[in-house]
A and B are shown apart, each in its own frame.
Chain A
Amino acid sequence: MTGTIVRIGWINLRRDRTALLLTFLLPIAFFSIFAMIFGGSSGGGTGRVEIAICDLDGSDGSRRLAAALAADPGLRATTETGDPPAPLTRESARMLVANGDLPVAVVIPKGFGDSMGQFAFGGGGSGAPESARVELLADSSDPVAPQLVFGLLQRAGMNAAPDLLARSGLSLFEKYAGGFTPQQKEAVDRILPELRGQAAAPNGGAAAGNGKTADAGTSSGIVPATIVDVLGESKKSGIIAFYAAGTGVMFLLFSMSAMSGTLLDDQESGALERLLTTPLGMTRLLLGKWIFMVAVGSAQLLVMFVFGAVVFGLELKQHLSGFAIMTLATAAAAAGLGLVLATVSRTRAQQSGMATIVILMMSAVGGSMFPRFLMSGTMQKIGLFTFNAWALDGFQKIFWYEQPLSAIVPQVCVLVVLAAAFLAVARRFARRWEAV
């Protein structure tokens, strides 16, 4: 008898494709996504951090440091901007970070080359003049990138100018410990060109590294650097907005899916049959459902952001117009997707299962579960196929980067086009309910 129950369970499971997918495919899909994000097995490797390098010193040492950074496999560096391209200034580098084009800009100050050796041997960098410290202009919405660049900066310093570091160290030794003997001087003179030669070699030995961040503060090390938060310290609101949007978009998708499922409820109750015998018609029926869903979805995001403003100090009032535009566009696309899921499904149970799979995967890849900047370059590109990514980018531009409304035009356009495309697809699939 127990065997019969097992058999019934097996037959039911085998014949329920949605249950099969949820049981076996979804965990594998999720595992794969997480593995690609954190294991670097997406084919694109660990994501390279995009940086700007602004060399204000122009010395041999600063040039060698910049070159070593540019050659680092963990970084993708740019030294110019504009059209025609011009070397970066501190301000133009800062703007690149402030606009969210890249997370970190490395500014090598004047006098850096002269002070280079003192950093290493002057007491952990504390003896170096403040004016010679490298600045890491950072966007703190990405807390990982500045730390990573700081670590790579240390490695670049070691690899770029070992001869300079050694010379400086030897000078200090002579200063505090007395002079070298002629034989020692001869040996030093022999070894310094070799050290320089090593620095000039491809990668300068840097390839041996794996790009891990230095376990250090923000200013100690061979190359002392100061991490400067370009967007200011009062950006807590942006982080809250990021998580409000991330969570909001994911749950918006779930609620849109649930609401669009009323179409299948109507089908199962027979109400749809009755509706379609009235002058209403399928197009107006779908449009009515969509408008209602957009309204509820917008209200859902509004409630979440208002809660964020009241409880967590999210700066909603200051960004109301941008929020309204992004919310409407996001809700429009989410409602359209909900209708697609409903119209392609045969039953409510099927729609529910399919929606769970689609929404969780889109949210994982699109950045609703964890920031896309933590993902590899490939995964970030894949994420752009989800509207979560576009929605989150738009909200981030408004709340974090405080960019003007014109900056979110690409995001809004993509979301509006997606909404229209989803509606068209849903209308096409809904033909099965019309006269046959």
Chain B
Amino acid sequence: MSDLLHTPLHDLHVELGAKMVPFAGYAMPVQYPMGVMNEHTHTREKAGLFDVSHMGQVIIEGSNFETVALELEKLIPVDILGLAENRQRYGFFTNAAGGIMDDLMLANRGDHVFMVVNAGCKDPDIAHLKSNLTGLTVSEIQNRALLALQGPAAERVLGALNPMAANMRFMDVATISLAGAECWVSRSGYTGEDGYEISVPSDQAVALATELLSHVDVEPIGLGARDSLRLEGGLCLFGHDIDTQTTPIQASLNWAIQKVRRTGGDRSGGFPGADVILAELANGASQKRVGLRPDGRAPMREGVQLFAGLDDEMPIGNITSGGFGPTVGGPITMGYVPIEYTAQGTAIFGELRGKRQPLTVMALPFVPSNFKR
């Protein structure tokens, strides 16, 4: 793994006994000695600390926020102009066919936009921004780590370091001091739990992580539990549940496209693939991402083909994420099916090791979200 990049917390992960694996060009902890199942449960019950420093942190600057917002809206079909200062929102880059190039978080930081993008997409994302934005400066932040503190105890833990953290609401963003470091903190995450994402100067990241881990309620959590947590939360993983071949409407991400960007809105369209996406919003998509729960105990994973009946020859779709949900206590999956199979309770089949096994269409998320709105 010598050619892999290291995050500022690499040596700490090794010290904590993490099993390191290659992920998006980085050596990342997939699990710690506690194990995926216990790490998952600990995060749902107390708080977990995740290293997400492999993700891309990007600053986009222009003469003022309005200029930046209007330029970014040419690439991202969400309401950026209407985002209040120090508020964050989920979004995605779309392509000309209406597909998703990457999903992201963006925040109005007054005179600039702060964006967090997926590790595997950060180079193409930054190139995409640079080549399509006029009059703006796009900078990748390379001297900051990114930590996520997730779970019901996160507020208490971070609030003890700085009471301002406890006063933040879901999707608020603030610059606050934590363990002596100037941190850019958002009250968000990707586990379905309340929590924070913390951008911290690289040279202070280990000290902050160590301080957080010294709390009795905080354990380090690896990518394995991060995946089962976000799957139970019904959250999409780029490259799996969403990609350049899936539109936001097919991905059931309609909620992320505010009215102002839809047909009839003040800033309707004007983003790549708007014709496709707005038509799907009006008329519905032919297929949708849904939650699917195998009736049996055997997990079904990404790539499993879905069938309408036991004897049908042609698959109707496939599973894009799947595994065991420790909080659900059984196997859970997400996948794409034609619109006529999307009603909750619809029974379909997945082909596992040559045998058709029943699954039921379920509401997402599998585990209720616990955000502090």
A and B: bona fide binding partners: no
> Which residues from chain B sit less than 8 Å from chain A, CB to CB?
none
